[in-house]
Structure 1
Amino acid sequence: MTQDEADVVVVGLGPVGIALCNLLAAAGVGVEGIDAADDVYALPRAIGMDHEVMRIFQNIGAADQVAAATGQYRASEYRSADGVLLRRFESPAQPYPLAWPPYLTFLQPELEKALRANGKRFPNLTLRTATELVGLENPDRPVLTLHDKVSGKRTKRTPHYVVGCDGAASFIRRRLDVALEDLDFDEPWLVVDMILEDGHVPLPETNVQFCDPARPHTYVYGPDRLRRWEFMILPGENPVEINRPERIWQLLSPWLRPDQARIWRSATYNFHALVAEQWRVGSVFLAGDACHMTPPFLAQGMVQGIKDAANLAWKLAYVMGGGSEHLLNTYETERRPFIREVIEITKRLGKVICELDPGKARARDAEMVAAMQAGQGIQVRQNLFPPIRHGLVSGGVDGSSTAGAGEPCPQPWVVGPFGRVRLDEALPPGFQLLITGDMDVSLNLLEKSREAGVAVHRVAQDRSYPALLVEEDRVLADWLTSKGARAVLVRPDHVVFGTASDAGEAEQIVRQLQTMLAATGQ
């Protein structure tokens, strides 16, 4: 692909940008990705991701390479200053709802290398490193000026669309003069990544949030021998001073001696809660840290950025294929309010952890211990987050979403013509209407689905039923039953558009999808 052929230019090749490049290329879009650095950042930053992200990597053909850089995500415990268990977050048990472990740890440099290597599979994807964006004009018909840092040459680009995945200090966001909404969270922390020299160091086997008013801190059990500590920087402390090796070892002394581990990375951060007030200006979009910054207490920063990429990628591909331009407005409509909710949830947990007043901490501890004793202190992490409630999801006349709308569609393991695979691997990309084995399908539904560009697939729960696909463990069927449904209409990003209990309802949601996709101007 020559530089003039790119339909989309993605600026920034961190995890969000390189994931978006892969997603667009897999959908047949001509894409060019650029990054000012000459290689991936060699140190870890993000450390946790969920099953929706692994599903995205699966869909671009990169799951096996990424999996090599992952580890088990341990349960997370909140403990008081004297070690009392205050709360525990656990993951759903097997069979996993999306066929992947619900949470994983990973090594970010290795993940980025895997995604860049995967991108080489696509002839319609060009990646340019050591290439800096130095000019952006006319967002409605973008004109980009790129500076090659090796040759010193400057070149122009005139793509249909531009996506800024260029991080918290985003040049694109600033060039567009997009303001950030401050959601009132600003706490300074020290983050330390350690590589254990001795695999037998007696450390916690879970992740722990130490809710100690003397110094709130966090321990994360990373992949292989990576362990992370995060320490709140107290009022009056100097961030430069606390980041010195001798001070770091003082903070780590309850757990480690210097002969047991080495410092891989240490950095001080202000944990922010910010959301860009616009995610689209003309034909230019923002994604990831360029348009939202989330405190790290639920490991949602990179995760939500990659979900931005998945949401935007299929919509850009759909529009580039002739679909209505208005669909692109649903990116911000869906993601911005969702991210605000995620940040508010994360802030509430952060404020629990960051309490410095001993009296308030004792009252907090008593309240949380009482909740544990009442059986309310053990929670599933995934249940904390809302569905997508706005945009391209099925709703009733009162504006409410239908059951399951906006949630990720389950992905069971299935047995079919290709053997035993995850469901997505047995289906073509695009809109899907998935029907459980016992639901009747009318000719009317089949015809309406064909007109709407929706593929219809029956997923049976019993090998005796005449279907090409038979699911294991009833993951999809049981989820549908919990929604009072027997069919689900799924978007290309595997977000549920809506559910139906019979062929008549299924036809209604297919018609609703067709109407919403065909709508003009919004």
Structure 2
Amino acid sequence: MEEFDVAIVGYGPAGATLAHLLGQCGLKTLVLERESAAYHLPRAVHFDAEVMRVFQWIGIAEKMEPLTALHPGMRFVDPQGKLLLDWPRPQGEGPQGWRANYRFHQPDLEKILRDTLADRPTVTVRTRCDVFFVQDHGDRVELRYEDMSCGKINRVSAKYVVGCDGARSIIRRYIETGMEDYGFHERWLVVDVILKQDKPELGDHSIQYCVPERPATYVRGPGMRRRWEITVQPGEDAAEISKPERVWDLLKDWLTPEEAELERTAVYVFHSLVAEDWRKGRLILAGDACHQTPPFMGQGMCAGTRDVSNLYWKLALVCQGAVSGAEAEALLDSYESERKPNAREYIQTAVRLGGLINTCGTETALRAALPSSDGSARMESIAPPLGAGIGIGEKAGRLFGQPRLADGQRMDAIFMHQFVVVAEAALAEGLDLPDGVGLVTTANSNAAEHLARLGARATVLRPDRHTLGAADTQEELAALIALCRPNPVTIQEPEMV
């Protein structure tokens, strides 16, 4: 029987990104996917700087960036077109080392993820393979799957199995977890079009049309791609409302058939669900398998990427024996304890936004329902910290920025998948760092502005670039450094720019 460190069930963006990260750490990784090829039509259309930073780690950010569109922000308008709330997005390089937000075409991303994964020598990808049996033996997991190209039944084993297999996850069924339900279950018609020529009056902003009888969302995609998401009312037939003549009638305020081609129409039920249990023994969930969100914040794919960036280095440390026993169990348990509250908060905010789009008609109602609003008709970014897990103090679990080093390089390009100390130069003098732990100071980078944002003189960053805590003295810094672990293994990194 073939043996692997990690088996990933599902080859969407979350599964492919996890495979890249584990492959970089040298783990023998198997990806099993039921479909023969990536879905060729648009699905997710937005990711943020945190996700682009992960793409930087796996070597695809510079391939992906030219294929994206600028995203200046989101606006909420009433039935008369009056601006109710403005949610601007910063432009230019932000704290993560990339633009705050990107609009993209998911097939472009999936092609790049898959093409470059072929260069990972420790990763095996098998498509048209349908997993139907999973058994956790305590020290390993046995998987059985059908190779649908020939009908052959195969058996493999892995130390851990990660279900990145979507809303109908088979791995979630074997975990036998329930779902926390936040009450949003609505049908929306998703319409993707390709303009025949540019139509600048549509604008670059995402627009939420707060029209009680027919709420709608407009999203600008890259190139000539544009999307509308339109509420399907109770009693309306999904097949009827998806017919071209009905779709063009719904789009008539924005667009005519002479101006664009329909690329896709589909009715989706948007859900707001979080799995109660994300791990059972050696079975783990990530992505849509453990959370489903309404689309109003554009965080569906982002959440899955956050999952795998939190999980990969923990699996690597455990699989390579850098941690074991109770420490390994606690490390893996921290995946759910940290990620679940973060995902839940994003979903609950999206639910509030969905309710407001459906029913609100006032600027006051919008601001009152969104605690992150600054009190004007503008809203700041929402970025909740991780839940309780690894680290010391209230500043543990904060996403930290990516300093630029004195030579202009981004920090993560030099210290890939490592723990890193970021400190004022004076505080870093005389530090005795463990092997493999990086050091960035205010003397050799622009770390001062990042430390000021955290409100500390020093911090220690995990491989996923969340903080282990904050330090203002060498004693506090030493306590954080004691939590560091070495690189799981030497990075297995092909040439990808």
- Tell me which residue corresponds to 1:430: 418
Which letter maps to 1:200?
K
Question: Are positions 1:87 and 2:69 aligned together?
Answer: no
- Tell me which residue corresponds to 1:158: 157
CA gap of 1:54–1:65, structure 2 versus 1, over 3 A, is: same
Q: Deviations over 1:376-432 (max 9, x none)?
A: 221232xx221113111322xxxxx13xx212211133233xxx3211112243111
Residue of 93, 104, 108 corresponding to 1:110: 108
Question: What's the RMSD between the two structures over aligned residues?
Answer: 2.2
- The residue correspondences of 1:324-473 to structure 2 (distance < 5 A) are 324=324, 325-326=328-329, 327-355=331-359, 361-362=360-361, 364-365=362-363, 367-368=365-366, 376-381=376-381, 384-395=382-393, 401-402=394-395, 405-416=396-407, 420-437=408-425, 439-443=426-430, 445-446=431-432, 449-450=433-434, 455-461=437-443, 470-471=444-445
CA distance in 2, matches of 1:348, 1:207: 17
Percent identity, please: 38
CA distance in 2, matches of 1:166, 1:371: 33
Which letter maps to 2:11?
L
* Structure 1, unaligned runs of 5 or more: 356-360, 396-400, 462-469, 518-522
CA distance in 1, matches of 2:319, 2:404: 32
CA gap of 1:128–1:177, structure 2 versus 1, over 3 A, is: same
TM-superposed deviation, 1:441: 2.9
Question: Are positions 1:511 and 2:493 aligned together?
Answer: no
TM-superposed deviation, 1:115: 0.6
Residue of 42, 45, 64 corresponding to 2:43: 45
TM-superposed deviation, 1:26: 0.7
Which letter maps to 2:379?
Q
CA distance in 2, matches of 1:369, 1:104: 25
CA gap of 1:331–1:486, structure 2 versus 1, over 3 A, is: same
Which letter maps to 2:167?
A
CA distance in 1, matches of 2:200, 2:417: 47
CA distance in 1, matches of 2:6, 2:374: 53
CA gap of 1:165–1:512, structure 2 versus 1, over 3 A, is: closer
CA distance in 2, matches of 1:144, 1:490: 35
Q: Deviations over 1:117-169 (max 9, x none)?
A: 11112110111111111211236331111111111111101111101101001
- Tell me which residue corresponds to 1:300: 299
TM-superposed deviation, 1:299: 0.5
Contact 2:367 2:375 in 1 (8 A): no
CA distance in 2, matches of 1:433, 1:59: 18
CA distance in 2, matches of 1:277, 1:440: 42
Which letter maps to 1:432?
V
TM-superposed deviation, 1:454: 5.9
> Which secondary structure does the structure 1 equivalent of 2:180 belong to?
strand
- Tell me which residue corresponds to 2:467: 496
CA gap of 1:130–1:206, structure 2 versus 1, over 3 A, is: same
> Which secondary structure does the structure 2 equivalent of 1:255 belong to?
coil
CA distance in 2, matches of 1:340, 1:510: 30
CA gap of 1:484–1:146, structure 2 versus 1, over 3 A, is: same
Which letter maps to 1:339?
A
> Which secondary structure does the structure 2 equivalent of 1:72 belong to?
coil
Contact 1:209 1:218 in 2 (8 A): yes
- The residue correspondences of 1:232-247 to structure 2 (distance < 5 A) are 232-247=231-246
TM-superposed deviation, 1:182: 1.3
Question: Are positions 1:64 and 2:35 aligned together?
Answer: no
* Structure 2, unaligned runs of 5 or more: 489-497
CA gap of 1:74–1:483, structure 2 versus 1, over 3 A, is: closer
CA gap of 1:337–1:428, structure 2 versus 1, over 3 A, is: closer
- Tell me which residue corresponds to 2:495: none
Count of paired positions: 478
